[in-house]
Amino acid sequence: MKDISTSILKIDNEEKANGSAIYVSDITIPGMYYAKTIRSTISKGNIKKITLPEMPENYTIVDYKDIPGKNVVKIIFEDQLIFAEDKVTYYGEPIFLIVGPDKIVITELEKQINIEYEEETPEFEYVNSAVHYNFKKGDAKSAFENADKIIEYEYITGYQEQLYIEPQGIVVDIDKNGKVTLTGSLQCPYYVKNAVLQALDAKDSEVRVIQAVVGGAFGGKEEFPSLTTTQLAVAAKKIGKPIKMIYEREEDMEVTTKRHPSKIYMEAAISKDSEILGFRSNVAIDAGANIGLSGVVLSRALIACTGVYTISNLEVKGDVFLTNTVPNGAYRGFGAPQMLFAVEMFMHHIAKEINVDPLELRLKYLAKQGDLTSTQGTFNDPIIMNEMVDKAMEISDYKQKKIDFAKEGVHKGIGMSWFLHGCGFTGSGESTHINALVKLRKDKENKVHILIAAVDMGQGIRTTMKKIVSKILDIPMDQTIYNLPDTDFVPDSGPTVASRTIMIVGGLVARAAKQLKEKWVDKEDITVSERYKQPEYIKWDEENFVGDAYPAYSWGVNIVEVEVCPVTFQVTLKHVWSVYDIGKAIDERIVMGQADGGIMQGIGYGYLEVMNCVDGKIAQKNVTDYIIPTSVDTPAMETVLMDNPYPLGPYGAKGAGELTLVGGAPAVALAIEEAIGNKVFNIPVTPEYIMELIKNGKN
Amino acid sequence: MVKNIIPTSLNEALELLNDRPFKIMAGGTDLMVQRRAWSQTPPEFIEDVLYIFNLEELKYIKEDKGFIVIGSTTPVEDLLHNDLTPFLLKEAIGIMASPALRHMATIAGNIGNASPAGDTLPILYVLDAIIVLESIEGIRELPINEVITGPRKHVIKQNEIIKEIKIPISVYTDSVFEKVGGRKADAISKLSFTGAVNIKDDKVLDFRIAFGAVSATILRRKEIEEKYVGLTKEELIGKVDEIVNEYDPFIRPIDDQRSNKEYRKTVALNLLKNFIITL
Ligand SMILES: Cc1cc2nc3c(=O)[nH]c(=O)nc-3n(C[C@H](O)[C@H](O)[C@H](O)COP(=O)(O)OP(=O)(O)OC[C@H]3O[C@@H](n4cnc5c(N)ncnc54)[C@H](O)[C@@H]3O)c2cc1C
């Protein structure tokens, strides 16, 4: 085989193009029932009385009283109930399921249900802090005391909806011994399995989770399916029938997790000779009605508080606020997009305030190998950002455009963001929480089975993992087998999240393949396994946020050119250029797919995608009202990958999944800022907001 | 049980409509969304459905006695590729919905739906389109502004069908349709602006303006337009602020999930102003 980066056809191209791929909604099991969720219609209050219609034979409701184990969804922080009991905390909170064989009958029954509430005043503001973190680096106190000038701004970011094409869906089956099998659209088979085990109070062998082909996820199928699967498993236990539950689009958009809205307050201490002495930042994220993963999202945001820059003195704090709104959760980037938007805007706003060219200021503080990170860890590996920035400026003709666009009467702007993304779980999560195990099994026909729980949700893992194994073992691709994960057959290699799959799981798979190569005996059944070991030099103090927050970082530069119509304030994307260091691409075209999709999702977050919660209800709950970019909105895009192999990744690969999203919003916001000549503080930068800025904004 | 009927002729359709209440469906691109139900269950129609999209006899576009006449089941995509279709109508259709939708959507459906954001409507208003309604009792011809009476309200009777749309042939030296949607394709208008003028020998012979989605129905004020007929181009441009002020009180948009009042109003007036000063 040639260089590992040389593109090959994705192995699922054909089944997806010709329609033979089996998604969860394609699955039917003889005698299958359907489930519909009955939800709270208020934002906060007590359930006084539930009046049900006369239930026909074979129709039943399933609620918290039916849960054999604990009424809580097992995720990192256990405060999400499977079904509400006597009170509700957000509009759309699940109270019970109606289950039965005919959807029309279920719809009729649903109309006859009456739930009486005693309403309480809901909280929609950032007042109830449920998690607070803070940490320091250097001596921010003296930095601010000695400052000649303090610059402060607040940055606000909105919701973002994953808007995977395929909504949430699960099918459960139950056998005569009571073993439940859940097949669904999900990212983390073992999160689901563990959640269901706890809810059913079952033995390990009584729950099986199988991934169906996933039609997009973006983090939206990280922790959320743990809720729907536990509900269905409880229902199957009660009724003893296979049951299917597929969300409708509006239901999906109203009640599933989204990117956390945030408010980020930044302060910089500036010396007489225009040095940045230190930063103080205060981050608030809106968790919705329960904490779930929000603490982890917050910590990733806080750790990114200096972006790609080295700032010596820091005081960082942040809170997760509970509000009576739909719970927020994982979304590609996981707290970093909010923070990187704030940091990139802030660096530009500081430069303007102290009259320095933003490019010069940023270059001066750009992190170098050996520098201390925001948490006093060390950037151990080479950083090639200077070359990347040069390359990006060269291919976009950045400097000339800056000059041209500054002229009177030109409504164009060009914005450049620099960013990094920590690969893998934050801190020591990989070793303490996940402890990934992978296996390779060679059967008697010399076929090699890749046994991992990693889910291909379009990002190409089924292709890239096979590529790694076949290259190391020097066998053809079709001699490797990677079936959709099934917890009865694959070990827990961890969730498919956090840009960890190629670097961590792929790294373990590569090591296992090398082991297998050594032990290879023709026509013999051999199984090898590898377990994650934290590199010795990585140290992390979770309590105090001190040490190496991530084993490695991927880096990127995005440049976006826009034109803003002076009559309608609408933004037209003209061109996008990107340069990434992801170590080494395992397949160039697959990475380009991530790059094109990721940047449009990031730019969409920055200028287009409006989602508001009005009186506790999501106002944009269908694809007509929630606007994401179409192909007509998408400009020409140019992407350059620069090799910078990471010694512990397979062939030097690092994470690529989230990196391509996180720089989009600041790049487009900066381009718009330049086009209109007013500072931008909020995303999305909609025409409505641009109009307001032009009327009353700051230069 | 709701019945779905596919008539084979216009006459059969008219007879059926005279017989009992039906919901007429043309392309269904509004109706199927509005009546959606849980997947794999039938859409939520409470009345019988008369599916007229297959009526070939109403699929036409032709020129007749000074009018362009469009049969009511003609999908808008066909109009996009026909030389007879007025320029402004093509402009509106070209950025309506998405290609797949345009092969089903009809102008009659846009009228029947009577949304203030319907994109072909401001064009029909500006071009003084006549809507031809037919029932077993005969034919009524009404100007578009008398057919639509409010958001989702119209005067089409239970036994009537929109047979065709008649657009008087007219000439303009300058005309624009500006749709302001949330994105460049497949978006419902936040607002729209339509302007058309005919200036000959430096004299304004015709001046027409319409706004979409800024009031309960499409906004067109003939009494304002008439004031400016007869001016020179320079004079018209010189009166731009006055014209903007004339329209100001009639532009009364709402706040909703797609935009807000201030934006809709500011941009509507900006577009008007921009149209005039760039003539
Ligand atoms: C994804 C999407 C995007 C869209 N984008 C746009 C857009 O950009 N701009 C826009 O204006 N609209 C848009 N629409 C709305 C819709 O496509 C248009 O309103 C279209 O013109 C409706 O035509 P139809 O034939 O499909 O109407 P139908 O849904 O069949 O009917 C609509 C109404 O008109 C009545 N009706 C239809 N034909 C007749 C007749 N001959 N006589 C009497 N009554 C009749 C029906 O009874 C019904 O009340 C969009 C819709 C979708 C789903």
Rg (CA), chain B: 19
The shortest C-alpha distance from A556 to chain B (Å) reads 27
The CATH number of the domain holding residue B209 is 3.30.390.50
Tokens standing for A482? 């990677």
B157 and B62 within one domain: yes
- CB of B95 less than 8 A from some CB of A: no
A107 and A136 within one domain: no
Of the candidates A255, A279, A294, which is a domain's last residue?
Answer: A255
How many structural domains comprise chain A? Answer: 4
B226 and B155 within one domain: no
Place of tokens 């455009």: A401
Do residues A254 and A288 lie in contact, with contact meaning Cβ atoms separated by under 8 Å? no
pLDDT for res A428: 84
The shortest C-alpha distance from A113 to chain B (Å) reads 17
Instruction: Supply the residue whose CA is at minimum distance from atom 23 of ligand 1.
Output: B109
A568 and A476 within one domain: no
Do residues A424 and A507 lie in contact, with contact meaning Cβ atoms separated by under 8 Å? no
A contacts of B37 (beta carbons < 8 Å): 107
User: Within 13 A of A249's CA, how many CA atoms are on the CB side?
Assistant: 15
A167 and A109 within one domain: yes
Q: How far apart are CA A85 and CA A639, in angstroms?
A: 51
**Nearest by CB to A633, which of B178, B183, B271?**
B183
Cis peptide, bond prior to residue B99, ω within 30 of zero: no
A212 and A85 within one domain: yes
Angle (CA) A330-A336-A337 rounded to 5° is 90
CB burial class (10 A; 0-12, 13-18, 19+) of residue B207? Answer: buried
Please state the atom number of ligand 1 nearest to the C-alpha of residue B98: 3
C-alpha A440 to ligand 1 mean position (Å)? 56
Of the candidates A216, A234, A255, which is a domain's last residue?
Answer: A255
Q: Do β-strands A262-270 and A276-288 pair in parallel, antiparallel, or remain unpaired?
A: antiparallel
Res A296 pLDDT > 80: yes
Res A699 pLDDT > 80: no
C-alpha A194 to ligand 1 mean position (Å)? 48
A518 and A635 within one domain: no
Do residues A290 and A80 lie in contact, with contact meaning Cβ atoms separated by under 8 Å? yes
Do residues B162 and B132 lie in contact, with contact meaning Cβ atoms separated by under 8 Å? yes
Q: How far is CA B55 from CA A686, B59, B136, B163, in A?
A: 43, 7, 17, 11
A117 and A128 within one domain: no
Q: How far is CA A117 from CA A40, A44, A85, A352, in A?
A: 9, 9, 12, 54
Q: How far apart are CA A343 and CA A419, in angstroms?
A: 10
Burial A15-47 (b: 16+ CB within 10 A, else e): eeeeeeeebbbebebeeebbbbbbbbebbbbeb
Tokens standing for B253? 């948009």
The CATH number of the domain holding residue B81 is 3.30.465.10
B contacts of A104 (beta carbons < 8 Å): 41-42
pLDDT for res A477: 97
Do residues A274 and A354 lie in contact, with contact meaning Cβ atoms separated by under 8 Å? yes
Tokens standing for A9? 């056809």
B41 and B9 within one domain: yes
Mutate to test the interface with A, among B36, B96, B184 (most CBs of A within 10 A): B184
Residues of chain B under the 70 pLDDT cut: none
Owning domain of residue A696 = 381-422+550-699
Spatial CB neighbours of A244, under 8 Å, sequence gap ≥ 6: A24, A27, A28, A29, A32, A33, A34, A35, A169, A170, A171, A172
Tokens standing for A246? 């597929």
- CB of B274 less than 8 A from some CB of A: yes
The shortest C-alpha distance from B156 to chain A (Å) reads 28
Q: How far apart are CA B36 and CA A250, in angstroms?
A: 11
C-alpha B253 to ligand 1 mean position (Å)? 22
User: Within 13 A of A172's CA, how many CA atoms are on the CB side?
Assistant: 31
B103 and B201 within one domain: no
Of the candidates A255, A285, A306, which is a domain's last residue?
Answer: A255
**Nearest by CB to B187, which of A103, A568, A627?**
A627
Residues of A with CB under 8 A from a CB of B: 25, 36, 103-104, 106-107, 246, 248, 567-570, 572, 608, 610, 612, 619-620, 624-625, 627-633, 687-688, 691
Res A697 pLDDT > 80: no
C-alpha A90 to ligand 1 mean position (Å)? 35
Query: For residue A364, is it within any domain?
Result: no
A671 and A617 within one domain: yes
Mutate to test the interface with B, among A107, A110, A245, A567 (most CBs of B within 10 A): A567
Helix axes A336-353, A588-607, angle to 10 degrees: 60
Of the candidates B168, B200, B216, which is a domain's last residue?
Answer: B168
Q: Do β-strands A552-564 and A546-547 pair in parallel, antiparallel, or remain unpaired?
A: unpaired
B150 and B55 within one domain: yes
In this structure, the number of other CB atoms found within 10 A of the CB of residue A502 comes to 34
Query: For residue A397, is it within any domain?
Result: yes
Please state the atom number of ligand 1 nearest to the C-alpha of residue B72: 41
B260 and B149 within one domain: no
B229 and B145 within one domain: no
- The length of chain B in residues reads 279
Of the candidates B168, B189, B220, which is a domain's last residue?
Answer: B168
The CATH number of the domain holding residue A109 is 3.30.365.10
Average pLDDT, chain A: 97
pLDDT for res A538: 84
How many structural domains comprise chain B? Answer: 2
B178 and B161 within one domain: no
| Nearest residue in B to A617, CA atom | B257
Rg (CA), chain A: 25
C-alpha A333 to ligand 1 mean position (Å)? 39
Query: For residue A200, is it within any domain?
Result: yes
The shortest C-alpha distance from A289 to chain B (Å) reads 23
Candidate from B110, B115, B144, B189 with most ligand 1 atoms within 8 A of CB, to mutate: B110
Query: For residue A363, is it within any domain?
Result: no
Of the candidates B168, B188, B203, which is a domain's last residue?
Answer: B168
Query: For residue A41, is it within any domain?
Result: yes
C-alpha B43 to ligand 1 mean position (Å)? 16
Res A260 pLDDT > 80: yes
C-alpha A128 to ligand 1 mean position (Å)? 46
Q: How far apart are CA A82 and CA A192, in angstroms?
A: 13
B contacts of A688 (beta carbons < 8 Å): 259-260, 262-263
- Among residues B119, B63, B115, the alpha carbon closest in space to that of B86 is found at B63
- Stretch 180-219 of chain B: residues touching chain A, C-beta under 8 Å: 180, 182-188
pLDDT per residue over A509-529, tens digit each?
Answer: 999 999 999 999 999 999 999
C-alpha B70 to ligand 1 mean position (Å)? 16
B101 and B209 within one domain: no
Proportion of chain A above pLDDT 70, given as a percent: 100
Tokens standing for B126? 């500006």
Q: Please report which confidence band the pLDDT of residue A1 belongs to, taking 50, 70 and 90 as the band edges.
A: low
Burial B72-97 (b: 16+ CB within 10 A, else e): bbbbbbbbbeeeebbebbbbbbebbb
| Nearest residue in B to A619, CA atom | B257
Candidate from B93, B101, B120 with most ligand 1 atoms within 8 A of CB, to mutate: B101
Query: For residue A664, is it within any domain?
Result: yes
Mutate to test the interface with A, among B38, B41, B190, B254 (most CBs of A within 10 A): B38
Average pLDDT, chain B: 97
The DSSP letter of residue A333 is T
A442 and A316 within one domain: no
Query: For residue A542, is it within any domain?
Result: no
> What does pTM read for this prediction?
0.97
- Among residues A270, A167, A179, the alpha carbon closest in space to that of A220 is found at A167
The shortest C-alpha distance from B65 to chain A (Å) reads 39
Do residues A37 and A83 lie in contact, with contact meaning Cβ atoms separated by under 8 Å? no
Query: For residue A433, is it within any domain?
Result: yes
B67 and B46 within one domain: yes
pLDDT per residue over A569-593, tens digit each?
Answer: 999 999 999 999 999 999 999 999 9
B47 and B70 within one domain: yes
The shortest C-alpha distance from B181 to chain A (Å) reads 9
A219 and A101 within one domain: yes
Q: Which amino acid is at A98?
A: I
Owning domain of residue B209 = 174-277
B204 and B131 within one domain: no
Mutate to test the interface with A, among B32, B41, B183, B240 (most CBs of A within 10 A): B183
A contacts of B38 (beta carbons < 8 Å): 36, 103, 106-107, 248
A180 and A99 within one domain: yes
Please state the atom number of ligand 1 nearest to the C-alpha of residue B110: 21
A655 and A603 within one domain: yes
pLDDT per residue over A264-289, tens digit each?
Answer: 999 999 999 999 999 999 999 999 99
- CB of B270 less than 8 A from some CB of A: yes
A250 and A262 within one domain: no
